Amino acid sequence: PARRPSRVLPKTTPSFSSSTFSVAFSSTTSRSPIAIAISRPHPPTTTIHLGLLQFLALPPPQSSINSASGAEDSHSPDTGGLGCKRGFVEALAFGRHCRRRPPSPPGPPCIPGFLHFLGPVVIASREEGEGTAGCSEDLPSADRRLRRCGVTLSCLSSPRSMEECGGGPPLKSEGLAAGEPRTPPPGSHSGCSDNGAGVGGRRHDVGSQNYQHSPLQHYYSQRLPDFLQSVNLKYVKLGYHYLITHLLTLLLVPVMVVILLEAGRTSPDDLHKLWLGLQYNLVGILVCSAFLVFGATVYCMSRPRPVYLIDHACYRAPDHLQVSHSKFVKHSRLSGAFSDSAMEFQYKILERSGLGDETYLPEAIHQVPPRPSMAAAREEAEMVMFGALDILFRNTGVRPKDIGVLVVNCSLFNPTPSLSAMIINKYKLRGNIRSFNLGGMGCSAGVIAIDLAKDLLQVHGGTYAVVVSTENITQNLYFGNRKSMLIPNCLFRVGGAAVLLSNHRADRRRAKYRLVHVVRTHRGADDKAFHCVFQEQDETDRVGVSLSKDLMAIAGVALKTNITTLGPLVLPISEQLLFFATLVVKKLFNNKVKPYIPDFKLAFEHFCIHAGGRAVIDELEKNLQLRPIHVEASRMTLHRFGNTSSSSIWYELSYIEAKGRIQRGHRIWQISFGSGFKCNSAVWQAFRTVKPSPDNPWHDCIHRYPVELVDGVSQHLDQQ
């Protein structure tokens, strides 16, 4: 027969009209639901659902108490008691039902006292013959503990049903004489008694009847976690951050409520009086209006023009220019320019550098022997710059004639005419374009070029600016044996990026990001910082770039200075207060106090750290307390493309876009280091959820990343 719809009854002294029903309840301290089914010989007639059976908290009904002396147990609508009459009790783990069994001889009385602590109870009917194939799950340990005390939630009807439920043999309950105490099974806890008192339970006095909470309650109470010990302080700090950040809003709420209440009490007579007052003070109103208009005009004119990033493009060289570790070592040996110790040193550096086997070197270096001529260097520059610009113009739809500002940066290759002139000649840019060529500024020149373009866009309105960042490898590979000058051979690879900026307010709708801050730090006044990255000749007059052993320490000082300047601009007020308090304590009381490192994860969602090498990324991850996902883009860019100098931060941004991680409002921190010594930061904010651009350099390989690196060597590729 079809089920009848459920109906909700009051929670006070419920009565039951069904003859067969099941009780399912769950405890707030237990992870899995427990169900009790009390079956009667005849089929059910209705279905009852209750939110809470309060009668379970009542003492056992008198009928249950008297059943120990041979009286027949029953339940009464008046008392709401729960009894067992010629039925059997089945424990159903995880909400499954045992097969129905014929009624068994009268067993021990049901003791509702152990149900006192249980929470919501749902009573539902079970149709005749309804059920599953049997209870195959093992009963929980709490059930077994109850069985020792003479109270069981498992199938008590027969040995067969008990075996199907996995609970072992049933308790011996038949043949009890009137007044004969029930004997618990061997090995049961000494604290168990026939009245349902559990181990360590709390005893209640109800008339002459005493009973305790069940061992189930005691069992779970011992497993409750200590909340105070489990509180993670980082969440307390996060709550403090939210409180401080929204403190002004919280303070303004009551003020706005008061204003609205006062405005609601304003009568039409009050408004009429205000209008009359304004008519008699016309001169004052005009003066105030003039001041307001003047102030608004000055504010609008003094506001800096917004700088939008329309799109960016990164160049990926053709596959025939890829160089694996083995190919690099083989060609280096065939060149005959390196000693055995120099080759061994380069091999060790290459294996631990974090570079993969798919990086690129220019055509001239692939030849044996290499031919680093000026013509080959120009070909490399044109290949990279024109390749990136072609992608940029194609994706944005901007005509080259619309470009008003051009900034090109390349540290080691500065021919005449300049690289910017090569671009103007190639794309026939207009004659009044403001072009700049930045050289010798190292790997941080990309952010410097962005800063220069930003300043020019503040002055010249309604125009576009293009920034091209690249490096040239052809004439700058070192063919000598000084170890400090061999490291760049193992790290630097071919790459370049082109970025389109705009100050058109109409471009806000299609722009990806808005430039928020640019912070530049220069440590050139310090001699060690000035010489830590230095282009020079070795003993054999071979030119190369030497890297000092103090590079990481100097980079750390430059980074500290940079983030100290950047912090107040981007960090929430809570982090600034903590930093200031720690600084005051350190200065006034104890110089040994560990300085507080602000949590920049509260200020930025994404980090583009210059992929200068594995050691640089490791140090920033440690010092800034970043998680692996925050430096994933830097590590994967280093692995796939190598150190592409100033353009590496744009390959990293392309990686994050290809992963689909940038959402509206997300903030991106680009940080780069360069010779001098310089540390520069750029902060961008996303206007929308950013999708990868066409011809993204990661478009056909992003599914293979991230790769797992052990000591800089890739182990396997994760399919994502």
Give the pLDDT of residue 303.
80
Cβ atoms of 426 and 397 within 8 Å: the answer is: no
- Taking the CA atoms of 44, 46, 50 and 54 in sequence, report the sign of the dihedral they define: negative
pLDDT more than 70, % of the chain: 64
Best-predicted range by mean pLDDT (44-53, 80-89, 408-417): 408-417
Each residue of 215-231: pLDDT tens digit? 444 444 444 444 334 44
Q: Is the pLDDT of residue 676 over 50?
A: yes
Cβ atoms of 206 and 59 within 8 Å: the answer is: yes
Q: Are strands 513-522 and 678-686 parallel, antiparallel or unpaired?
A: antiparallel
Give the pLDDT of residue 328.
94
**DSSP assignment string, 213-257:** --HHHHHHHTT---HHHH--HHHHHHHHHHHHHTHHHHHHHHHHH
Give the pLDDT of residue 78.
41
Q: What is the third-level CATH fold of 310-717?
A: Peroxisomal Thiolase; Chain A, domain 1 (3.40.47)
Give the pLDDT of residue 698.
97
Each residue of 118-169: pLDDT tens digit? 333 333 333 334 333 333 344 444 444 444 444 444 343 444 444 444 444 4
- For range 670-699, the mean pLDDT: 94
Cβ atoms of 122 and 49 within 8 Å: the answer is: yes
Each residue of 610-640: pLDDT tens digit? 999 999 999 999 988 899 999 999 999 999 9
- For range 200-205, the mean pLDDT: 41
- Model confidence band, residue 467 (pLDDT cutoffs 50, 70, 90): very high
Residue 231: both structure tokens together = 């509180």
Residue 66: both structure tokens together = 């008297």
Query: For 672-706, what is the HEC assignment?
Result: EEECCCEEEEEEEEECCCCCCCCCCCCCCCHHHCC
In sequence order, the β-bridge partners of residue 124 are 22
Give the pLDDT of residue 91.
37
Q: How many CA atoms lie within 13 A of 257 on its CB side?
A: 6
- Model confidence band, residue 712 (pLDDT cutoffs 50, 70, 90): low
Catalytic residues: 443, 522, 606, 610, 639, 643
Q: Is the pLDDT of residue 56 over 70?
A: no
Give the pLDDT of residue 280.
76
Q: Is the pLDDT of residue 539 over 80?
A: yes
Q: Where are the domains of the chain?
A: 1-224, 245-302, 310-717
- For range 223-240, the mean pLDDT: 48
Contacts (Cβ under 8 Å, ≥6 apart) of 41: 19, 86, 103
- For range 350-354, the mean pLDDT: 91
Better-scored residue on pLDDT, 269 or 513: 513
Q: Scanning the structure block, which residue is given the tokens 């147990």?
A: 73
- Model confidence band, residue 8 (pLDDT cutoffs 50, 70, 90): very low
Q: Is the pLDDT of residue 530 over 90?
A: yes
Each residue of 312-333: pLDDT tens digit? 999 999 999 999 999 999 999 9
Give the pLDDT of residue 329.
93
pTM for the whole structure? 0.64
Give the pLDDT of residue 263.
81
Neighbours of 498 (CB within 10 A): 28
130-144, 243-257, 395-409, 463-477: which has the minimum mean pLDDT? Answer: 130-144
148-152, 434-438, 476-480: which has the minimum mean pLDDT? Answer: 148-152
Give the pLDDT of residue 316.
96
Q: Is the pLDDT of residue 116 over 50?
A: no
Length of the chain: 720
Q: Is the pLDDT of residue 656 over 80?
A: yes
